[in-house]
Amino acid sequence: MRYFALTISCLCLATPVFADDAALLAEPATPDVAAPVEEAPAEPLVKVRATGFLDTRTTGAYAAVTHLLPSDDVAHLANLTEGNVQLKFDWRDKASGLVDASFIYQKAGLYYGNDGTGERLQLADHDVAAYRPTAVLSEFYGTYNFHDHFNVTLGKKRIVWGPGLAINPTDLLNPPKDPTDPTMQRAGSWLARLEAPFDLFTLSFVAAGKVTRQFGGIPSGLIYYPDAHPAPSYDQYGNVQADGYDNRPHYALAARAYALWHETDIDLYWFQTQQYNDAFNYKNRLGLSASHVFFNALELHFEAIGFQGSSKAYFDADCIGSVAAFQGCGMAGKTPGGYTQIDDPGVRVKALAGGRWQFGDNASFTFEYFYNGEGYNAQEFSNFTQVLSMRPQLLSLMDSLASAHVTIPGNPLSVLNPTATADTGSPQKYTFEPMRRHYAFFTYLHTLIADDWNINAVVLLGLEDLSGQIAPQVTWLTREWLNLTLGGLYTIPGVKSLGAQVAGGGFTENALQPTIWRVFLSARVFY
């Protein structure tokens, strides 16, 4: 027995210290080990975290007065001051919530227009909706976890599923992006989301409602117009004015299946939208996206969505050759322009493919190609531009017809503004609403240069006429709580001979809008 005891004791001594993990974890402290950490106090029931920033941005701009879209409402000098607060709530692991709200004060002036001879004319300062003070509720939602694998989110939230950096063709839920100013795309949509997350896949279902009325950024109508049949309004000639109200719902439904498969993010999507962020009625769309990192440095991604019809407005070439032709069509009861292909059975695809190379020094370069299957071909773009070039005369015509109580069917001039159907959700000055078919995006980002500097540059290029936007930014991380940013935007005019040949001139897509350049200086204090 003694031999047995001795043998056991020897074996114990001989057992390596690596025998099992439990022994490792329970290992006594070595002499230079500090005292054990004291017991942490009990966690509060609800944790609240507050953060935010105060940002003041002064912008100088130069707008051409001879471009087809008017410059009258482009301020050449503007200041935007934004106070942002973000409150995050956590109730153990059961529920969480976020409020991301901004209060924005803007002051703008120095407006210029065309004096009728093509010369610049300074206009009196006037009220422009885009520069009004407003409250922006970017996000306001709560999530409840019924189970590890099932949660429900309710409120306003920005959900972006696709991997595209500059734009996301599969993002039908959120307001349109400004790819040249990433900080101005935080606004989400009002929605309810059911989500079942698992280790390697997630199923999501989202129902989102369009804000049909809001005051100073605070919504007062959702899905339906609160007063779909208000008392009719009349123009100066006593004609009933179309107010755009209807009694149909305005919503988006989305189902998405995500899988992490062979280290690749794969998403499949189904959407149904009803006059949500575009003109489509009860439109079903299917999409897919994928993202994978190769060679530990190159991320490649793909994102596509397919659907029938087109949500763009088209003009009848027979009706737009002249003001008289326009009037002739209208008097004959023919619509000169409108959403004429909205129920077209032809399948169209919007697709984005790109890659991001990560350099070893906190720098990355992203290239993306975007194909817009419902974009205008050369003739359709030419038709659109033709109508735009006649806009002043057509407005006069519409006014004179109204005085004679004659209306042209289809309200054709209302479709000239491609962003009219979408609420940007924030005071961004530029939204990317592609009119043509082929685009390229280049994004270079280099953070923490010499520790304190970030630079980024975005180039958006229309490949049909080589017009675009270039938006460089330099940020000085002055303190841990203060960033100073100098940024700008320059409109690349493109090659006129490749644009629409209208009224004796060549017009490229990005040179339709009046802004030639913009420079801003921003100071952002974080707290």
Which residues in the 120-149 window bind another protein by CB under 8 A? 138-139, 143, 145, 148-149
**Residue 37 binds another protein (CB under 8 A):** yes
User: What is the nearest approach in angstroms of another protein to the Cβ of residue 187?
Assistant: 9
Nearer to another protein, 30 or 117 (CB): 30
Q: Which of 480, 503, 505, 482 is nearest to 494 (CA)?
A: 505
Region from 223-231, 289-297, 387-395, 417-425 binding another protein, contact rule CB under 8 A: 289-297
Q: How far is the CB of 137 from another protein (least distance, A)?
A: 13
Task: Name the segment binding another protein (CB under 8 A); options: 269-277, 295-303, 432-440, 464-472.
Answer: 295-303
Q: Residue 136 to residues 105, 185, 394: CA-CA distances in angstroms? A: 11, 11, 36
Of the candidates 248, 250, 239, the one whose C-alpha atom is nearest the C-alpha of residue 211 is 250
- Residue 187: name the closest of 303, 290, 84, 107 by CA: 84
Name which of 127 and 451 has its Cβ closer to another protein: 451
Instruction: Tell me 504's DSSP state.
Output: T
DSSP H or E run through 433? none
Q: Least distance to another protein from the beta carbon of 316, Å?
A: 41
**Is residue 435 within 8 Å of 182, Cβ to Cβ?**
no
Query: β-strands 134-147, 95-114: how paired?
Result: antiparallel
Single residue of 73, 82, 181, 299 touching another protein by CB under 8 A: 299
Q: Which of 238, 333, 345, 360 binds another protein (CB under 8 A)?
A: 360
H runs (alpha helix) in 201-349? 323-331
181 binds another protein (CB under 8 A): no
Q: Are strands 500-502 and 298-308 parallel, antiparallel or unpaired?
A: unpaired
- CB of 74 vs another protein, minimal distance in Å: 26
User: Is the CB of 15 or the CB of 284 nearer to another protein?
Assistant: 15
DSSP 205-246: EEEEE-EEEEETTEEEEESS-TTSSPPPPB-TTSPBPP----
Among 79, 81, 183, 340, binds another protein (CB under 8 A): 183
- Strands (E) across 392-452 are located at 438-449
Kindly identify the residues of this chain, within the stretch 11-30, that bind another protein according to CB under 8 A: 13-18, 21, 24-30
Least separation in angstroms between residue 144's CB and another protein is 11
Indicate the residue among 266 and 463 with the shorter CB distance to another protein.
266
- Residue 124 CB, nearest approach to another protein (Å): 37
- Tell which one of 105, 282, 476, 481 touches another protein (CB under 8 A): 481
User: Which residue among 105, 198, 215, 237 contacts another protein (CB under 8 A)?
Assistant: 198
- In the bound complex, what is the minimum distance in angstroms from residue 220's beta carbon to another protein? 24
* DSSP classification of residue 498: G
Going from the C-alpha of 434 to that of each of 267, 370, 447, the distances in angstroms are 24, 10, 29
246, 212 Cβ separation under 8 angstroms: no
SS (H, E, C) 137-171: EEEEEEEEEEECCEEEEEEEECCCCCCCCCCCCCC
Return the residues of window 41-100 that contact another protein according to CB under 8 A.
49, 51, 53, 86, 88, 93, 96, 98
* Out of 117, 236, 247, 296, the residue judged to bind another protein by CB under 8 A: 296
**One-letter amino acid identity for 207?**
A
- Element counts in the chain: helices (H) and strands (E): 5, 25
The least CB distance from residue 87 to another protein, in Å, is 11
Size of the site for another protein (CB under 8 A): 80
Contact set for another protein, span 390-429 (CB under 8 A): none
Question: Based on the number of CB atoms within 10 Å of its own CB, is 415 exposed (0-12), middle (13-18) or buried (19 or more)?
Answer: buried
Q: Give me the least distance between CB of 463 and another protein, in Å please.
A: 25
Q: Which is nearer to another protein, 345 or 360 (CB)?
A: 360
Nearer to another protein, 201 or 517 (CB): 201
Residue 338: CA count within 13 A, CB half-sphere: 11
Task: Report residue 455 as tokens.
Answer: 């630079």
Minimum distance, C-beta of residue 510 to another protein, in the bound complex (Å): 24
Is residue 258 involved in binding another protein (CB under 8 A)?
yes
Site string for another protein, 432-451 (x = CB under 8 A): ---------------xx--x
Taking the least distance from each CB to another protein, the nearer of 75 and 460 is 460
- Nearer to another protein (CB atom), residue 139 or residue 374: 139
**Mapping DSSP to helix (H, G, I), strand (E, B) and coil, where does residue 117 land?**
coil
Cα separation of 90 and 72, whole Å? 48
Shortest gap between Cβ of 36 and another protein (angstroms)?
A: 5
Choices 104-112, 209-217, 293-301, 458-466; region in contact with another protein by CB under 8 A: 293-301
The Cα-based distances of 230 to 225, 236, 244, 354 in angstroms read 10, 19, 11, 48
* Stretch near another protein under the rule CB under 8 A, chosen from 10-18, 223-231, 384-392, 401-409: 10-18
Measured from the CB of residue 250, what is the shortest distance to another protein in angstroms?
A: 23
- CA nearest neighbour of 55 among 129, 110, 99, 106: 106
Which tokens sit at 405?
């109580």
To another protein, the closest distance from the beta carbon of 368 in angstroms equals 13
Residue among 358, 407, 431, 501 that touches another protein (CB under 8 A): 358
Q: Which is nearer to another protein, 127 or 199 (CB)?
A: 199
Burial of residue 433 (number of CB atoms within 10 Å: 0-12, 13-18, 19+): middle
Task: Rule CB under 8 A: choose which of 151, 170, 443, 508 binds another protein.
Answer: 151
What is d(CA 305, CA 315) in angstroms, rounded to the nearest whole number? 25
Least distance to another protein, CB of residue 448, Å? 4
DSSP strand pairing (120-123 vs 75-91): unpaired
